[in-house]
């Protein structure tokens, strides 16, 4: 597929590196963001600025969006000056995490104007977005998804999940529930070890060599927790939102989530203690407060 004009709405922490990869792949980008600084950053790389989602959707047939909250996606897609009011858009690709029910509602609203919604949430964080190694979980009509495949492969690995709206969202919520569970459980375990007198760095080395290793022990602890930088690049408020969305979907489907509900409460507690903007790796600091210990810091 030859390079073409693509609309991109939301060029913040995740959106900017994804937009940058599309520009590097040779696509002409028309971008919009409510933050002028973010829009200026992508314009400096060659993107054209738009004044609203509707303008983006009037200048590009394919519109991608990377937004923080489900209600924001709804407003951008269906609200005043939204994508639904554009004159050219035919495909709306949501890279955000909104949950299946929101994805279906957005798809239904856009369909009334002849626009097909594709949910394509991503996993892999800011580093994955910059490197083009994201997991992209795509659901929608097969022919449309196949058309989008070369574009989305510039962002990472393309996974076709299914034809129905929301299937990609469900896959993303399940993935993030497991990631949140690994982070919470590993944090509790390492705090326990430190309280008992163990060296946290040795603990992580042993865990990673044994059967207890998780994505948290292999990645989050060495990069952001043991150095106490807490700068992994994903907000705790967003992780809490994703877990809550997943539990809500499980409840709607009648699936018991004993462990999932406990994990949800842990993230809600950390959210209440430190606010939504703290890095999600800072979860461990709230467990440390309970235990009266500190994990990591400068290497001895």
Tens of pLDDT, residues 181-227 = 999 999 999 999 999 999 999 999 999 999 999 999 999 999 999 99
DSSP 215: H
Query: What pLDDT is recorded for position 299?
Result: 52
- Residue 80, phi then psi, degrees to nearest 5: -60, 135
Q: Give the mean pLDDT of 153-170.
A: 98
> Is the pLDDT score of 298 beyond 90?
no
Tens of pLDDT, residues 15-41 = 999 999 999 999 999 999 999 999 999
Q: Per CATH, the architecture of 170-291 is what? A: Orthogonal Bundle (1.10)
CATH 1.10.1040.10 segments of the chain? 170-291
Question: What are the start-end ranges of the E strands in 154-298?
Answer: 156-162
- Residue among 172, 220, 241, 264 flagged as catalytic: 172
Look at the chain and count its residues: 300
Q: Give the mean pLDDT of 282-294.
A: 97
Rounded CA-CA distance 130/146 in Å is 23
- Residue 91, phi then psi, degrees to nearest 5: -130, 125
> Is the pLDDT score of 3 beyond 80?
no
How many distinct helices (H) and strands (E) make up the chain?
Answer: 13, 9
Average pLDDT, the chain: 96
Closest residue by Cα to residue 147 from 157, 156, 158: 158
Give me the percent of the chain exceeding a pLDDT of 70. Answer: 98
- Residue 27, phi then psi, degrees to nearest 5: -80, 145
Tens of pLDDT, residues 237-254 = 999 999 999 999 999 999
Decide: pTM greater than 0.85.
yes
CATH 3.40.50.720 segments of the chain? 5-164
Helix, strand, or coil here: 26? coil
Query: What pLDDT is recorded for position 224?
Result: 96
Rounded CA-CA distance 4/1 in Å is 9
> Is the pLDDT score of 1 beyond 90?
no
172 catalytic per annotation? yes
Q: Per CATH, the architecture of 5-164 is what? A: 3-Layer(aba) Sandwich (3.40)
State the pLDDT confidence band at 171, using cuts at 50, 70 and 90: very high
Tens of pLDDT, residues 35-76 = 999 999 999 999 999 999 999 999 999 999 999 999 999 999
Query: What pLDDT is recorded for position 296?
Result: 86
Helix, strand, or coil here: 176? helix
Query: What pLDDT is recorded for position 122?
Result: 97
Query: What pLDDT is recorded for position 2?
Result: 52
């Amino acid at each position: 597929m030859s390079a073409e004009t693509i609309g991109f709405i939301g060029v913040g922490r995740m959106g900017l590196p994804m937009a940058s990869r599309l520009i590097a792949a040779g696509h002409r980008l028309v971008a919009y963001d409510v933050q002028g600084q973010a829009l200026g950053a992508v314009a400096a790389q060659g993107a054209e600025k738009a004044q609203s989602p509707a303008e983006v959707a009037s200048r590009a047939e394919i519109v991608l969006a990377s937004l923080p909250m489900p209600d924001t996606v709804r407003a951008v897609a269906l609200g005043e000056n939204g994508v639904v009011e554009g004159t050219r858009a035919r495909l709306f690709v949501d890279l955000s995490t909104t949950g299946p029910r929101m994805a279906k509602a957005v798809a239904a609203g856009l369909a009334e104007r002849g626009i097909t919604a594709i949910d394509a949430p991503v996993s892999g964080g800011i580093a994955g977005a910059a490197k083009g190694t994201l997991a992209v979980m795509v659901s929608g009509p097969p022919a449309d998804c196949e058309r989008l495949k070369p574009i989305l492969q510039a962002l990472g690995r393309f996974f076709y999940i299914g034809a129905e709206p929301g299937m990609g969202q469900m896959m993303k919520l399940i993935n993030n529930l497991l990631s949140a569970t690994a982070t919470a459980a590993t944090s509790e375990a390492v705090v326990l070890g430190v309280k008992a007198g163990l060296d946290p760095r040795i603990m992580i080395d042993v865990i990673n060599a044994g059967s207890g290793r998780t994505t948290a022990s292999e990645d989050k602890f060495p990069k952001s927790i043991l150095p106490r930088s807490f700068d992994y690049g994903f907000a705790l408020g967003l992780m809490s939102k994703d877990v809550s969305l997943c539990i809500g979907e499980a409840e709607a489907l009648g699936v018991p989530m004993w462990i999932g509900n406990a994990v949800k409460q842990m993230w809600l507690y950390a959210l209440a203690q430190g606010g939504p903007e703290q890095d999600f790796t800072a979860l461990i600091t709230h467990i440390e407060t309970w235990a009266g210990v500190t994990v990591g810091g400068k290497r001895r």
